[in-house]
Structure 1
């Protein structure tokens, strides 16, 4: 990417030449990265209005960049560049790494990126700890309280391929979750459409909405069952926000420790028994390597605090499945 024009304090037209590194990326995603501080609504407005031009012609938000394209970006008043001097560099347990891809085992309680009241997250800390890295971008998201495998692209082409695999549901993503209640079936498909909404307090939530929601599909396999709890493996075929949490709660099996959709009285009791977080862990991931296309199988064991709680259940309740 090459910027042309003077860098002054007043907003001015920018002309950007696309290089091989950015080729293949959608124009809307490219602008969100280049125009730091610009809200999404502004990006899509200038695209719809034709103020953004590629090779002097109008394009829509789905246009994919080609090396050598010249992009005209209209004058924008953007927020000041974020000060990253306060972000502590941090490395996380590595599940897999090569020149194109990084997979880490994210701990619970850490956001994947800054925003919504969080000043920094995993990606900012990784960038700070790896100043020599030219490219580090999240391939997907995990909720702050969810632990487990998180994929990060180290090259633009690898990130694009990972996004394609996610869009095509070509990744086999499986989570381990502990739910309240006795899960009845060895294998069960859950197909419940989901929609997002805001609470009166402005917090993001998700609900089942079979008429207006987006199609969502989870496959639940029973791993172990006790008198009052069940350990299940959940394979997600779609990646909707809070999908696992909402699907299981809607069927009457809230996740242990879930502070948004769970059983709050139960959560309080569980804290006294040693479970102080939501029991949801991204445990395994199978995919084709985004560059070599070789099969890749990744696994992250249950964190100590979750494994200890399973041991507590074994000691206090009799298991009648999977023991």
Structure 2
């Protein structure tokens, strides 16, 4: 079971200035408040800002993007409404570069390539269905990937997202017969091998994010590697870093 932080002091900060807060989200923590009532990133970080800067009243913190609850890694927040607006525009115009690492349960037909599907979400069941062609209100989802061999036929995949749909990586790889390790929702009958070690049950990690600073316009990149726990220990930290870089800087 994933461990939830008792306070924001358990959440590593990668970068902070007057406009931007970049942290490492622990797996198992919701991005924002949900029906579970469990501590969530937005609430924890707001409380931490209030405490650290002795701020009176409500603290503003904007959610720039979301990570699924079981997923950990780089996550960005806006500390001002102006930054929130500009960062949201970057996400909308796909100027926000996101790279993930994932462990697959099967090898794709090609070592590298692109996936394009149309995803339709069933909100009642919180499940996304991937279609090969446009259908109904399904939204286009695109990603690039590259894989490296791993133990027991479970390859490592580095993924660069071009769109940010709910459950996108999980649903798209499941659609080609390569669900993520430990993904009980999209794996075959829930039989994906769980990621042990208290770090979440899906082998998916937000490894890098790149975006122009909302005020200075300087291009900034932030990185985080998965924990040294199964199944990530099948690769060295250097191999994981190289994998993330391989797609993060791939040309459009």
Fold-level match, TM-score > 0.5?
yes
- The runs of 4+ residues in structure 1 deviating greater than 3 Å are 223-227, 263-267, 269-276
- Number of the residue aligned with 2:164: 239
* 1:25-44 aligned within 5 A: none
After superposition, the Cα gap between the structure-2 partners of 1:195 and 1:272, relative to the gap in structure 1 and judged at 3 Å, is: closer
Q: Is 1:127 matched with 2:46?
A: yes
Q: Give 1 or 2 for the bigger CA radius of gyration.
A: 1
How far 1:119 sits from its partner (Å)? 4.2
Q: Which runs of 5+ in 1 are unaligned?
A: 1-86, 315-321
Which one of the candidate residues 205, 210, 217 is aligned to 2:142? 217
Q: Is 1:289 matched with 2:216?
A: no
Q: Are the counterparts in 2 of residues 172 and 287 from structure 1 also a CA contact under 8 Å?
A: yes
Number of aligned residue pairs: give it. Answer: 223
Partner Cα separation in structure 1 for residue 219 and residue 205 of structure 2: 22
Q: Are the counterparts in 2 of residues 191 and 217 from structure 1 also a CA contact under 8 Å?
A: yes
Partner Cα separation in structure 1 for residue 195 and residue 21 of structure 2: 33
Q: Is 1:194 matched with 2:194?
A: no
Q: Secondary structure at the match of 1:135?
A: coil
Worse overlay, 93-102 or 110-119: 110-119
After superposition, the Cα gap between the structure-2 partners of 1:166 and 1:271, relative to the gap in structure 1 and judged at 3 Å, is: closer
Structure with bigger RCO (C-alpha 8 Å, 6+ apart): 2
Q: Are the counterparts in 2 of residues 195 and 207 from structure 1 also a CA contact under 8 Å?
A: yes
Q: Which runs of 5+ in 2 are unaligned?
A: 236-242, 244-252
Which one of the candidate residues 128, 141, 146 is aligned to 1:206? 128
Q: Are the counterparts in 1 of residues 108 and 176 from structure 2 also a CA contact under 8 Å?
A: no
Which one of the candidate residues 90, 115, 118 is aligned to 2:8? 90
Q: Are the counterparts in 2 of residues 183 and 225 from structure 1 also a CA contact under 8 Å?
A: no
Structure 1 vs Structure 2 CA RMSD: 2.5
After superposition, the Cα gap between the structure-2 partners of 1:204 and 1:226, relative to the gap in structure 1 and judged at 3 Å, is: same
Q: Is 1:100 matched with 2:19?
A: yes
| Deviations 1:67-109, CA, capped at 9 Å, x for gaps | xxxxxxxxxxxxxxxxxxxx96423101111110000000101
| Deviations 1:109-133, CA, capped at 9 Å, x for gaps | 1111111223431111111222235
| Deviations 1:112-157, CA, capped at 9 Å, x for gaps | 1111223431111111222235321211110000001111101111
Q: Are the counterparts in 2 of residues 177 and 232 from structure 1 also a CA contact under 8 Å?
A: yes
- Number of the residue aligned with 1:254: 179
If the length of structure 2 is used for normalisation, what is the TM-score? 0.80
